[in-house]
Structure 1
Amino acid sequence: MDCPIDYKRLIYTSCIRGSLSDGDVAAIFAASRRNNGLDGVTGILLIENRRFLQVLEGPAESVDLTFERIRADERHRDVVVLDEQCEAERIFADWAMAGWPGERPANAVEKLGRLLRHAPAEVARYFPSLNVPQPV
């Protein structure tokens, strides 16, 4: 997707292939923060119910390259793009990669909830513990 404005936001989900230890999860967050910081990508990663849900934001080319690395990562299977948009500003501008388990800052939950309320309904259903109101 070509973005005529500043940033691209991509939301995807995937199933976890195999098992992840606490050490594996910590390594994923450390690598994400390092790589995303270098690439100008921000976002949030949730790991819950044997699924990944991630929001990537940044320059379109950087987001695309980051997502291609993720798709090639053998820890992921059944990778599905849930939403892809061009945006004038970032929601998670302050985080190279916020996420949980491990950290669950209140403002991250608030921002993610706001994002999910405006995203396709199928996004929120993957993560019921966030208690995002569903449209009726």
Structure 2
Amino acid sequence: MADSTSATTADPEAVVAANVRRLREALGLSQTELSRRARLGTRDMAVWGIENGKRRINIADLHVLADALGVTAELLLTPGADLAPQVRQYEARIDGGITETVAADAVEADDYGLLHFFLRGERVFLTSVARVLCVREAH
């Protein structure tokens, strides 16, 4: 007879809910901030509902959450996945010949034309998208 723990982890929505919560907390994000990044709305209730099994997770939600958390949808569906945020070194080449090297685990452009680099939920670099010539992962 299977115990209730294995039954819970076998449920894909429960696995995603647990992984979203663990990764969100590891990144230092509030439910509101994750909702904003994933464009699920500005209310805490969207992420709260997913994390607490009150909101069904559809394929679109799964992919936008994965993108916002900097992981793959497959990883969110994996029970007991290693969810340590992947810190990467980025080189941002800005007009005027400036190159900035930034350590970040998430990069996003907002609706105001700004490019944000985040490390553990804190913005570490901000620039105008119009000034960016290219962004690449540094080797």
- TM normalised by structure 1 equals 0.29
More RCO (CA 8 Å, sep 6+): 1
- Normalising by structure 2, what TM-score? 0.28
